[in-house]
């Protein structure tokens, strides 16, 4: 890899990834919208906490599903388009993978907003759509199905990325893509640390049902998965009818 192109790719990726479309769209649609307040929840015991970073999910809660969807598309586009361009210009290089990683870092830790960004999911999906759409679809479907089968729809996101790494290792067998997939897994886990701590706290207190209700209420995606899980777990319906 050319060192100059390597440096330019990293710098450009970070600053492009650091663009917060959730904040930009909120400013255009409703300048008075409080994204921080939208992601704040109150527990049954009166405690307060946050359930996500500033991204598409927050925009959906503050502005509505339509604008949340627009933010998700824009966040995907900011990684998808440059990744496709770099892959076309340098088909034999790994600059597009490098761009994807540092754009996601920029999304999670944006310098424009005191390093308070989103979880990076939409940015990750955008880069994967450009790099390996089949691997993305397979890992997403497998992770979602597994989460629904165990009746834990909130775990589907956690399952996607390990499955993607398994796909990279067993099917793609491309060292650069394997490193990329592991980097995505690490970045996702880092971004999820606040929610992982919250989940462990609720588990320790025996309040996981309350935690799951909070997470499901905060995301239209997990609400949809919960409905699918309820439909798919047909054996439980048969058991209920037999009882």
pLDDT at residue 63 in the model: 85
The whole-number pLDDT of residue 76 equals 96
Q: How far apart, in Å, are the Cα atoms of 135 and each of 111, 128, 179, 182? A: 31, 8, 15, 14
Environment class of 89 (CB within 10 Å of its CB; exposed 0-12, middle 13-18, buried 19+): exposed
Residue pLDDT, tens place only, 208-235? 666 666 555 555 555 555 555 555 554 3
Contacts of 82 (CB under 8 A, 6+ apart): 12, 13, 16, 99, 103
* Percent of the chain with pLDDT strictly greater than 90: 43
Check pLDDT > 60 for residue 198.
yes
Tens digits of per-residue pLDDT, 139-165?
Answer: 988 888 887 777 666 667 778 888 999
Spatial distance between the Cα atoms of 162 and 182, rounded to a whole number of angstroms = 8
Q: What is the pLDDT of residues 83-137, one digit of tens each?
A: 999 999 998 889 999 999 999 999 999 999 888 888 888 999 999 999 999 999 9
Looking at residue 241, its pLDDT comes to 47
């Amino acid at each position: 890899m050319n060192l100059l192109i390597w440096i330019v790719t990293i710098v450009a990726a970070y600053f492009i990834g650091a663009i917060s479309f959730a904040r930009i769209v909120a400013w255009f649609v409703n300048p008075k919208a409080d994204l921080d307040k939208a992601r704040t929840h109150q527990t049954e015991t009166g405690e307060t906490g946050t359930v996500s970073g500033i991204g598409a999910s927050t925009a959906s809660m503050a502005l509505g599903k339509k604008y949340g969807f627009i933010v998700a598309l824009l966040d995907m586009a900011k990684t998808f388009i440059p990744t496709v361009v770099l892959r076309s210009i340098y088909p034999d290089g790994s600059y597009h993978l490098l761009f994807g990683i540092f754009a996601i870092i920029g999304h999670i830790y944006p310098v424009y907003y005191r390093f308070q960004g989103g979880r990076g999911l939409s940015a990750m999906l955008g880069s994967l759509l450009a790099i390996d759409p089949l691997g993305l679809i397979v890992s997403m479907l497998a992770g979602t199905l597994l989460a629904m089968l165990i009746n834990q729809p909130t775990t589907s996101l956690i399952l996607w990325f390990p499955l993607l790494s398994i796909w990279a290792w067993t099917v793609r067998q491309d060292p650069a893509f394997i490193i990329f997939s592991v980097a995505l897994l690490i970045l996702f886990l880092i971004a999820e640390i606040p929610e992982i701590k919250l989940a462990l706290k609720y588990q320790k207190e025996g309040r996981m049902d309350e935690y799951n209700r909070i997470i499901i209420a905060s995301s239209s995606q997990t609400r949809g998965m919960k409905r699918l899980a309820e439909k798919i777990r047909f054996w439980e319906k048969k058991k209920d009818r037999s009882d």
